[in-house]
């Protein structure tokens, strides 16, 4: 077996080429890791908003909360359905909400507006969604024009910070009394106000957009769904909350992943050829050296492995560099439109170990694939001819 130091030293001698090739591979690994980090970040943000033991009821055929509307009198019916959890006081844990997207002035742009989702919620909403915590101030009191805003909106839109105010409609200012977080989910890009405030500001009297209920356990969902959808005249549709948000995010997440896949396919093709060129040159320059190694008694197989190792070391070095850069991306926050709701949601790159490791392996694989043919050529060098020069 030829020691690894031989390969490392050979790489160090040709510094420029080594660095250029490793950089090429590093860039590919960087793009690959970033694309998938963003993809998982999006899924985490949007799907993270849902709980598997929560169910959401919409009007049948409307794909989003925004397009849906239900009569307020269906609330009692939904609350009485089997499987719905009851609070200690004996009331059903249910939250009938009014959801609307409003245009707000974006800070730091020249008068550009963007869409913010406003959710009118009853007092029970915080019980149905316990992951929502107020981190500053207090939750809005029912029946007042107070709102709380997700921490993702803070400082991004005019008037959306503690003690500031903005208008839901003309001459209807609301005051921000609280900032909340929800473990990174898309709720953090929403404004929550009292349901009656939302109803009267947006002319939704007697209506809610959607109803979210807490179930006794996730397994109760099928029975709940059957009850909801049994009466065709009501035209209701029940989904698990997780399922609903998965459906909402699938378009955007798929778009990023397909885009990332196509990008990586092309980039890795280019970088792999780069590794191939480098290793081919290395082999042809070291003909004599390889001949000597063969004459010393190293087998064809150990020459083959040695050169494969050399290109793997090269690509792993590049890969590590790429991952280091990709990790820096986790400090970057992006705000992007969710294609399903037109609402602007803040995402981050999610540095999960599986993605990072996968990208590193992919980088190594590129090195092995690119180095295979040159290594084969090295192994087939005839010692006598090579040493003759």
Partner 1 sequence: MGLVTIAVRNIWRNKLRTVLTLSAVTVLVIFFLLLRTVIWSWTASAEQGARDRIGTRHKVSFIMQLPRRYVEEIRSVPGVKQVAHASWFGAKDPNHTDDFFSTIAVEPKEFLEVYDEIKVPKDQVEAWKQDRQGAIVGDVLAKKRGWKLGQKVVLQGTIYPGDWEFHVSGIYTADSPTVDRSTLWFQYKYLDESRAPRLQDQVGWIMARVDDPGRAAEIAKAVDKKFDDRDIQTLSMSERALQASFLGMVSAILRLIDVVSFVMVLIMGLILGNTIAMGVRERTHEYGVLRAIGFLPKHIVLFILSEGLALGMLGGLIGLAIGYPFVQKGMGPAMEENMGAFFAFFRVTPELVVASFFLASGLGLAAAIIPARTASKLEVVSALRRVG
Instruction: List residues binding partner 1 (CB under 8 A).
Output: 16-17, 20-21, 23-24, 27-28, 30-31, 38, 59-63, 66-67, 100-103, 106, 109, 112-115, 168-170, 202-203, 235, 259, 262-263, 266-267, 269-271, 273-274, 276-278, 280-281, 285, 334-337, 342, 344
Q: Of 336, 270, 278, 310, whose CA–CA distance to 31 is shortest?
A: 270
Q: CB 49 → partner 1: shortest distance, Å?
A: 19
| Of 103 and 361, CB closest to partner 1 | 103
CA distance 320 to 33: 11
Residue 124's φ and ψ, nearest 5 degrees, are -75, -10
DSSP 3-state helix, strand, coil percentages of the chain (rounded to 5)? 50, 20, 25
Q: CB 389 → partner 1: shortest distance, Å?
A: 8
| Of 242 and 338, CB closest to partner 1 | 338
Q: CB 35 → partner 1: shortest distance, Å?
A: 9
Say which residue the tokens 């957009």 belong to: 209
Measured in Å, how far apart are the chain's first and last C-alpha atoms? 25
CA distance 335 to 356: 23
| Of 73 and 109, CB closest to partner 1 | 109
Query: Two tokens at 364?
Result: 């190594």
| Of 111 and 353, CB closest to partner 1 | 111
Query: Two tokens at 159?
Result: 């008037």
Q: CB 114 → partner 1: shortest distance, Å?
A: 6
Buried b (16+ CB within 10 A) or exposed e, 195-210: bbbbbbbbebeeebbb
- Which residues 6+ apart lie within 8 Å of 338 measured at CB? 46, 186, 248, 249, 252, 344, 345
| Of 101 and 327, CB closest to partner 1 | 101
Query: Two tokens at 288?
Result: 């004599």
| Of 101 and 126, CB closest to partner 1 | 101
Query: Could you give the 3-state DSSP secondary structure of residue 383?
Result: helix
CA distance 275 to 368: 9
Say which residue the tokens 């985490």 belong to: 44
Q: CB 210 → partner 1: shortest distance, Å?
A: 14
| Of 287 and 302, CB closest to partner 1 | 287
Q: CB 21 → partner 1: shortest distance, Å?
A: 6
Q: CB 121 → partner 1: shortest distance, Å?
A: 18
Q: CB 310 → partner 1: shortest distance, Å?
A: 16
- Which residues 6+ apart lie within 8 Å of 257 measured at CB? 35, 36, 39
Q: CB 135 → partner 1: shortest distance, Å?
A: 25
| DSSP bridge pairs for 56 | 212, 239
Half-sphere exposure of 317 (CA within 13 A, CB side): 16
| Of 114 and 242, CB closest to partner 1 | 114
CB 335 within 8 A of CB 41: no
């Amino acid at each position: 077996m030829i020691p690894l130091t031989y390969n490392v030293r050979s790489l160090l001698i040709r510094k420029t080429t080594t660095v250029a090739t490793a950089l090429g591979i590093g860039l590919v690994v960087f793009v690959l890791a970033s694309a998938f980090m963003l993809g998982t970040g999006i899924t985490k943000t949007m799907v993270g908003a849902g709980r598997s033991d929560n169910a959401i009821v919409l009007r049948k055929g409307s794909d989003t909360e925004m397009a849906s509307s239900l009569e307020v009198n269906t609330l009692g019916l939904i609350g009485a359905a089997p499987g719905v959890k009851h609070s200690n006081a004996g009331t059903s844990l249910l939250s009938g909400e009014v959801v609307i997207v409003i245009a707000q002035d974006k800070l730091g742009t020249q008068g550009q507006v963007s869409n913010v989702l406003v959710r009118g919620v009853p007092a029970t909403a915080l019980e149905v969604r316990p992951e929502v915590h107020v981190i500053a101030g207090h939750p809005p009191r029912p029946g007042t024009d107070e709102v709380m805003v997700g921490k993702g909106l803070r400082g991004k839109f005019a008037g959306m910070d503690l003690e500031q105010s903005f208008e839901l409609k003309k001459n209807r200012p609301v005051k921000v009394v609280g900032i909340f977080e929800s473990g990174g989910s898309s709720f953090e890009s929403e404004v929550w106000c009292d349901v009656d405030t939302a109803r009267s500001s947006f002319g939704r009297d007697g209506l809610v957009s959607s109803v979210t209920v807490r179930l006794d356990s996730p397994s109760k969902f099928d029975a709940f769904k059957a009850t909801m959808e049994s009466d065709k005249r009501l035209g209701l549709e029940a989904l698990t909350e997780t399922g609903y948000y998965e459906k909402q995010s699938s378009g955007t997440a798929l778009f990023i992943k397909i885009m990332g896949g196509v990008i990586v396919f092309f980039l890795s093709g280019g970088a792999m050829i780069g590794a191939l060129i480098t290793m081919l040159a290395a082999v042809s320059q070291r003909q004599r050296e390889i001949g000597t190694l063969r004459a010393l008694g190293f087998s064809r197989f150990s020459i083959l492995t040695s050169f494969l190792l050399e290109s793997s070391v090269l690509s792993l070095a590049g890969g590590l560099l790429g991952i280091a850069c990709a990790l820096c991306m986790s400090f970057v926050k992006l705000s992007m439109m969710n294609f399903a709701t037109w609402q602007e949601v803040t995402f981050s790159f999610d540095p999960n170990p599986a993605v990072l490791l996968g990208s590193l392996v992919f980088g190594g694989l590129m090195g092995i694939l690119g180095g295979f043919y040159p290594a084969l050529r090295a192994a087939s060098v005839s010692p006598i001819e090579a040493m003759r020069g």
